[in-house]
Structure 1
Amino acid sequence: MSIHFDHTIVGVRDKHATAAYLSELLGLPPAVPYGPFLMHSFGNGAHVHFADSQAAPTSTHLAFRAGEVDFAAVLDRLGRRGIPHWADPFKREPDALYIDGTDRGFYWDDPDGHVLELITRPAATRAGSRVRSGS
């Protein structure tokens, strides 16, 4: 297929704070300026652009994929900062991971209420049957 996802723009209260938050938790390099945005680039060529928003930000879901070592490091960083996470995006299963075939994942909120997800396998390879696991 010749069509690839390139980027999304996420409205936030403070693009510098949000970009730094994501850099710290995901272990990314600092975001770079790109026009009026701050941009994070990812290994697959996709980008997230953060824009300061005068209006209250609308919640967005952003899913990131990581290998097992980075997955564990992000989970550890969340724990050290006291940031809650859930096995589901509806926050019914606190302090847990989901297991979907060979994929593991969890959700947490950024300071603007955007729902972030970290997974270990591409979404298209999932079995489609989630099991809860304490983390």
Structure 2
Amino acid sequence: MAVELNHTIVVSSDKRASATFLAELLGLEVGEQFGPFVPVTTGNGVTLDYAEYEEEEGGITPQHYAFLVSEDDFDAIFGRIKAAGITYYADPYHGRVGEINTRDGGRGTYFDDPDGHAMEILTRPYGSGGRRG
């Protein structure tokens, strides 16, 4: 059996709001709550399980989540990002505000979720030389 990522936990201050934020931008569904988690499942079956942090854990450490999307999906998602007035960047360090990148012959952009997690959409995997992946 090949090794595949099945799910990851995304720590948030409001799991329902954060799951809804991402799902609406990406055009996905928020699943039914399962235990303490509110899931958002991607097209390749990976689930982001949103959970709320515990005060004694010391807050939220921002993480990075990248989503490989088609050119058409990029247009739709990017349109929703702009329509919502969300600040976006061409780079992960937030140095190129209001821009997208064109690495490997594709397009990509970064934006933050309500808890500061760095979200990314890209149309070509980095290092692909322009191949879709």
2:124 matches 1:118: no
2:37 matches 1:34: no
Query: Counterparts of 2:79 and 2:125 in 1: how far apart (Å)?
Result: 22
Kindly report the root-mean-square deviation, in angstroms, between the aligned alpha carbons of the 2 structures. Answer: 1.5
Q: Which amino acid aligns with 2:94?
A: K
Q: 1:104 aligns with which of 94, 104, 107?
A: 107
Aligned to 1:76: 79
2:71 matches 1:65: no
Report the alpha carbon displacement of residue 124 of structure 1 after superposing the two structures with TM: 5.2
More strand by share: 1
User: TM-score, structure 2 length as denominator?
Assistant: 0.88
Structure 1, unpaired ranges of 5+: 128-135
Q: Classify the secondary structure of the residue corresponding to 1:125.
A: coil
2:107 matches 1:95: no
- Runs of 4+ aligned structure 1 residues displaced above 6 Å come to none
Q: Deviations over 1:79-115 (max 9, x none)?
A: 1111110000111101111111222101000010000
Aligned to 1:11: 11
Report the alpha carbon displacement of residue 13 of structure 1 after superposing the two structures with TM: 0.2
Q: Deviations over 1:57-88 (max 9, x none)?
A: 11010001111111111111111111110000
Matched pairs, number: 127
Query: Counterparts of 2:12 and 2:111 in 1: how far apart (Å)?
Result: 16
**Deviating more after overlay: 30-39 vs 6-15:** 30-39
Query: Counterparts of 1:38 and 1:57 in 2: how far apart (Å)?
Result: 17
Query: Counterparts of 2:93 and 2:125 in 1: how far apart (Å)?
Result: 21
Query: Counterparts of 1:70 and 1:32 in 2: how far apart (Å)?
Result: 24
